[in-house]
Structure 1
Amino acid sequence: MMEDKAPLTEGVYYILLSLYEPRHGYGIMQFVSELSNGRVELGAGTIYGAIKTLTKREWIIPLDEDGRKKEYVITDAGKCIVESEIKRLFELYHNGIGITKGERTQ
């Protein structure tokens, strides 16, 4: 799928990272805020819209509710997407550092 090759938005990237452990929507918001030192604050609408999309893409799955807030966790496919994004971001960083220091990267 082409959408699997597209860069992730920062919000989606952080949501996927947060779901390496099961979390509900509010837990995702707290984790993302903490991980980004408050720089990224995701609202409920953003979280739940992303959850719907990520579930449809099978990058995350809901866990059984047991009468409490629904929790989600990342799938193996979602982990592959995160790993691919980390490689992409590393390449961006590496190339940027190389150019700004006057080194040409291949």
Structure 2
Amino acid sequence: MESIYKQPDPQSPLTEVTYFILLSLAPEDRHGYAIMKSVERLSRGRVKLSTGTLYGALQRLLEQGWIAQIEHDQTNHPGRARKVYRLTPLGKAALNAEVNRLHSLLSAAQPHVLEQAP
């Protein structure tokens, strides 16, 4: 049976939002607010997600099969369920492809435009 999810194209760049969301989910499962804070930290404050941007991106990633909603966490907020997201194998493949693509670009540029550290 053929999967409804599309394999990531290693030559297609991810958007910055998608990249940082996947990167934030790589070490552990997170709920939306934790993803927002993690993305801000990982990007050193450059990427600050609004809730609309975050949940739109999460919905698209769910539809692509790159993340999965795994549970509702009520540990710290009894009576108020939080959706928790996990990186799927397809999401890991997409993130790895992007890291390899960026590494290749940086490696090609380094001898030509970047100053070498002493």
How high is the TM-score relative to the length of structure 2?
0.78
Unaligned runs of 5+ in 2: 1-5, 75-80
Aligned residue number for residue 100 of structure 2: 87
Aligned length: 100
Superposed structure 1 runs of 4+ greater than 6 Å apart: none
How big is the shift at 1:38?
Answer: 0.7
Unaligned runs of 5+ in 1: 102-106
Q: Could you say which structure has the greater relative contact order, defined with CA pairs below 8 angstroms and 6 or more residues apart?
A: 2
Aligned residue number for residue 9 of structure 1: 15
Any idea what SS the aligned residue of 2:72 has?
A: coil
Bigger proportion of residues as strand: 2
Within 5 Å, give how 1:26-37 maps onto structure 2.
Answer: 26-37=33-44
How high is the TM-score relative to the length of structure 1?
0.86
Identity among equivalent pairs (%): 42
How big is the shift at 1:86?
Answer: 0.5
Bigger proportion of residues as helix: 1
How big is the shift at 1:83?
Answer: 0.5
- The residue type paired with residue 104 of structure 2 is E
